[in-house]
Amino acid sequence: MRPHSHETAFDLSIFDDEETYKRVLDTGALSPRAIAPLYKVSDNEVAVIPFDVALAIKITMPRPVPAGSPGDANWPEGKLGWAQLIKHGGQPGASEHAVIRRWVSPVNSTISFIGELHHFSSVGNGIKAYIISSREGIIWSGEVQDDFIMTEFQGHPIRKGDTVDLVVESNGEEAEDKFRWHPRLYLSGEDATQYPKQDWLTRFDFQGPPPRAPEPLAPWAQYAQVLLMSNEFIFID
What local confidence, expressed as pLDDT, does residue 194 receive?
85
Whether the ω angle into residue 76 lies within 30 degrees of 0, i.e. cis, is yes
pLDDT, tens digit, 9 for 90 and up, residues 78-129: 677 788 888 888 889 877 889 999 999 998 999 999 999 999 888 888 999 9
Q: What is the DSSP string of 73-122?
A: -PSSBTTTBT-EEETTEEE--STT--EEEEEE--SSEEEEEEEEEEE--S
What local confidence, expressed as pLDDT, does residue 118 receive?
94
Q: What are phi and psi of 140, to 5 degrees?
A: -160, 145
Q: Is the pLDDT of residue 69 over 50?
A: no
120 and 193 co-located in one domain: yes
CB neighbour burial string for 119-157, b if at least 16 within 10 angstroms, e if fewer: bbbeebebbbbbbbbeeeeeebeeebbeebeebeeeebe
100 and 189 co-located in one domain: yes
Q: How far apart are CA 226 and CA 170, in angstroms?
A: 57
Answer yes or no: is 129 within a domain. yes
Q: How far apart are CA 55 and CA 148, in angstroms?
A: 12
Q: How many residues does the chain have?
A: 237
57 and 89 co-located in one domain: no
Kind and range of the H or E element at 23? Answer: helix 18-27
97 and 48 co-located in one domain: no
Give percent above pLDDT 70 in the chain: 87
Total number of domains constituting the chain: 2
Q: Angle CA(110)–CA(115)–CA(120) in degrees, nearest 5?
A: 155
What local confidence, expressed as pLDDT, does residue 71 receive?
43
Answer yes or no: is 166 within a domain. yes
24 and 101 co-located in one domain: no
Residue 41: pLDDT band (50, 70, 90) is confident
Q: Is the pLDDT of residue 60 over 90?
A: no
Answer yes or no: is 22 within a domain. yes
Q: How far apart are CA 43 and CA 19, in angstroms?
A: 27
Distances (CA, A) of 2 to 5, 60, 215: 9, 11, 45
**Predicted TM-score (pTM) of this structure:** 0.59
57 and 127 co-located in one domain: no
57 and 155 co-located in one domain: no
Give percent above pLDDT 90 in the chain: 30
Domain range for 55: 7-62
CATH number, domain containing residue 152: 2.60.120
158 and 96 co-located in one domain: yes
42 and 130 co-located in one domain: no
92 and 55 co-located in one domain: no
Answer yes or no: is 70 within a domain. no
Answer yes or no: is 71 within a domain. no
57 and 164 co-located in one domain: no
48 and 117 co-located in one domain: no
Query: Is 236:230 a contact under the CB 8 Å cutoff?
Result: no
